[in-house]
Structure formats: structure tokens, C-alpha cells
Amino acid sequence: MDREVPHSTRVIACDLDDVLCQTNLAVAQWHNARYGTQMTLDEFYYYHYWKNPHWGTPDETLAKVHEFYESKDFQELQPVDGAKEGLETLRDMGFSVQIVTARAGGHQVETEAWLEKHFPGLVNKVHYTGEFVRMQDDTVNVEKITKASVCHSISALLIIDDCANHTFTCASASPVVPSILFGDYQWNQRLSVTEDDKDFLSHDARTLIEGQPGWWEKDNLDSLPETMKRARSWPDAVQHISQMQRRRERPDFGLNNSKSNGDVVRPRAALHLSKYA
């Protein structure tokens, strides 16, 4: 999937999983059928699965994720409500949508077949950062590709993403990439920091250390940077972009992206997401 995009076209970067397709819901249903659990979407407290109930250690989690990718459930993901209509509206507004996903290029065939089935003619290109390939083996020399760097390379005006890690990284980039934090999801109510050993513990092991239920709530985001907006649905996301369009500005929410001395505004904790952010 690599449609020619005129140089003058305004590009919007858009995540795939849980922005266009209901990945985590399918993952929970698959896990319950495969492992006899009662996992719910509301138990996805963090972006990194091993921090959530039922998943186990990071190694066990990665093995399960690979197993899910090989299942028919991965091929049969359902679109997020309103996503097709949202992309159609963005197209009619003159935007070119390019997908920027943490998936690896090894899933290109099935990913782009799914997009053509559910969003025919609405996506111009797909960029794969391979985020979890880097996590699986630190011994291989894999160049780190961030979503912010991809947005810079394609001159994206903004990014729509359900992961606060990614939107905060974009907010701390230079130049700043404005972002829409998408979805009414538990996992984007907080950053998923991977700074020290306890951040790589399973949910059960971490709960023993913390000694209290609901310990993850201490990581809740108190506020968002000025260049981030939260959209709980596709109509909300389109409304934000429409407002920018009417102002005829670069979609930076009408706010200054940097301090007066030229330093980039870096939100709290955005610099502590580690190599896995």
C-alpha cells in the first residue's frame, strides 16, 4: 500500500490498533478462550500488557502476543466505531491519512489486506516502527524508529494515537508534533513507564510489592501538554481537526509549541519512557 501523495497534500498520521481496529478487545476475547481467563478491556491499565492482570512476565506476554498474531482472531479484527466515516471526512477535507503503527513490517501483508477490506482507498501509506521487535531481542542491531521521527519524515501535521507514550513523545519532539490522544481507554489514562526493574514485573508481582489495590492509579495523568487534545471517539477527533481547519492554521491547537527562548516544551515524565516508548 503505497499510493502517490502530492507534495502539497496535508498529511495526518494515524495509529492503527485501537484507533482504526478494535485490537485489545479481540486480544482479551482470544486470551479468555485460549487460557480460560476472564480478562476485560477495563483491565488494560497500561499500554504494556505485562503490567496488566492475566498476562504474566514480559517474556510470557511476548509469547502470547506472537500466538495471537498467528490466530484467526488477528485476521478478523473489527473496525472501531465511526473510524471509516472519520477517514472519509478527513479525505473530503483534503487530508492524506498515513498509518504509523508499532507493528513490525513482518505483518505488512495481513495488515494492509485488512486496511483495504475495511478502509478501501482511505489510507495512502503504512509505516511500521517495529517497536516490540526491539523489545524481544536487545542483542540485535535494530535502528530505533519513533512515531515522532516518522511524523517528521512525512511532514505530518498531527498524529492520532491511543497511546499516551507515543503522544507524549511527539509532544516532546523538536519540532513538536501536535497530537490527538484517542479513545476512552484505561491504558491512555496514564503513561506506561519502563525506567527500572519494577516496571518489568508482572501485574501480580507488582501488586505484591505495592501492597494495595488500584496502585496503578497513582500514575494517572493530571493534565496534557498544550499540543495534545483528547478525543474519546472519531466524531470528537474530526471535530478537533475541523476547528483547526476553520482557523486556517497549522493544526497546533492555536498555541505556541515552544518557549520564548526556542526550547521545546517537554511534558512531565515524557523524557522517562525509555527505549521501549
CA–CA gap between residue 120 and residue 3 (Å, rounded): 12
Among 2, 17, 219, 236, which one carries the catalytic annotation? 17
CA angle 273, 225, 234 (to 5 degrees): 95
Q: Are 192 and 186 in contact (CB under 8 A)?
A: no
Phi-psi region of 71 (alpha: psi -120 to 50; beta: other; left: phi over 0): beta
Residues in the chain, total: 277
Sole residue written with cell 503490567: 51
Is residue 18 annotated as a catalytic residue, yes or no? no
Which whole-number Å values give the CA distances from 121 to 39, 111, 137, 219, in the listed order?
A: 35, 14, 36, 39
CA–CA gap between residue 139 and residue 231 (Å, rounded): 38
Long-range contacts of 255-259 (CB under 8 A, 24+ apart): 255/226, 255/227, 256/226, 257/175, 257/176, 257/178, 257/226, 257/227, 258/176
CA–CA gap between residue 26 and residue 70 (Å, rounded): 13
CA–CA gap between residue 107 and residue 169 (Å, rounded): 24
Among 2, 15, 59, 199, which one carries the catalytic annotation? 15
Is residue 199 annotated as a catalytic residue, yes or no? no
Kindly list the catalytic residues: 15, 17
